Chains A and B, each alone.
Chain A
Amino acid sequence: MNAKYEAVIGLEVHSQIKTDTKVFCNCSTDFHSQPNTNICPVCTGQPGVLPVLNKKAVELLVRTGLALECRINKKSVFARKQYFYPDLPKNYQISQYDLPFAEHGKLNISVDGGVKTIGITRIHLEEDAGKLVHDIGMKKLDYSLADYNRTGIPLMEIVSEPDMRTPQDAAAYLTALKSLIEYLETSDCNMEEGKFRCDANVSIRPVGQKEFGTKAELKNMNTISGVEEALVYEIQRQIEVVENGGKIVQETRTWDPDEKVTKSMRSKENAHDYRYFPDPDLVPVILDDDFINKIKKDIPELPEKRKQRLISECGLSQYDANVIISDKALADYYETALETASKQSDNSGKQIANWITTELLGKLNSAKLTIKESPVKAENLGTLVALIIKGTISGKIAKMVFEDMFNDGKDPDTVVKEKGLVQISDEGAIVAICKEAVAESPKIVEEYKAGKERAIGAIVGLVMKKSKGKANPQMVNKILIDLLKQ
């Protein structure tokens, strides 16, 4: 980036709150329903209807606010934000203006090996609009179609302070925010389904200048990398405008992911006149300490804390810990496996992590499955690792067992039993096989005795073959060495 200028970036995230029903009526929020089937007189804005607030939406928003270290306002008020659009049945959106639920929080992000604190200005509750369809397949329509299933789904609007300075900051912020919200289970954050959307405000100023430059609002960035790309482009564009003696216009620009440019939407001379006023149909919400403390208790362990705990309690490396906690479902899986294994043996923490990162994730990826869809249940992985630690099976055999577990969903004890894979650890039995193998390999014995120590490997191999891989490798090694000493 240009050394003369610095960028100032603020992000507005709209995240759909994970409730079963809409925020002001009892219609389902199901994403996969046919168009206009999750509708009712209230969310289609028929004459005479009135909104009734969904308590769970408030609870989940407050939970998010607490995790982002916001102050939860004692009194919160709903306001009408007025504008006309066909996806907005009442032609006003019930939102919040003066008294939002949460304010003045922060989120720490890791960038360039350090930690940056990004301020959260506010989080407020509002209803989502419907969907407009402008084309069917490749055919562009000369009219628009409206689907009101999405109208009324609760959104948290999370507004950051303009504390970000680079597109990388923005990407890190979004990644951290998304991860946190997924941990809190207050939103699905599925960006492809439009449940986690981001608009950016970006301006540039000469390095050292205190005042902010004129900002542009960027819309239509549908992935985190899209946000980053759009910001890179826009910052450069603004720099070029200024360098060429031009002025930045305050406007809304849309990101074109195909052409990889931002384009001006119809430039507005005035800021939007939304004519906010308190919604007379909805009474204020007063939240006391009891309510807030109850929600605080429900907050699960947050990613950063969980990571540190796994490192200290289970001896995981930074890398492994990072992988494990990156996805709450994965972290849950790990701890379930660990719990099962711990009942059967000690010190399984690192090994389980290893199995997950080297064996399980790869297989899941190829089969295009998520951890939640894993055919290997967490308890079973735990048992598998316990079997290795106890010496019931060898690491190599375990890999075979794991294959069966993954393909057939069986539990390890069953596989081991069915295939008779229990490791042979009986000294007498191993001695017998070893003696056989030694007797069958006179040439190799000679080489070994001549000083080629690595030749023992071939006899080990033979022992393993004879025992169908079940002989305890450490014992085999020891016994062979003893035998060959004679």
Chain B
Amino acid sequence: MPSWGRKMWIIILIKLFIMFALLKIFFFSNFLNSKFKNQEDKGEYVLEQLIKPIK
């Protein structure tokens, strides 16, 4: 493999590690999945968000 090819593989692997092992796990948890267990509760929460502006 040429040296530029090796560099590319290293960049890809580092990037994927940062994105999936660091950013995704520590900073980007799915908000609804982390707060609610089922679809019904998620829907209920978003519905509350949609109607809350009207007092």
**Chains A and B come from one and the same complex:** no
**B-side interface residues toward A, CB under 8 Å?**
none
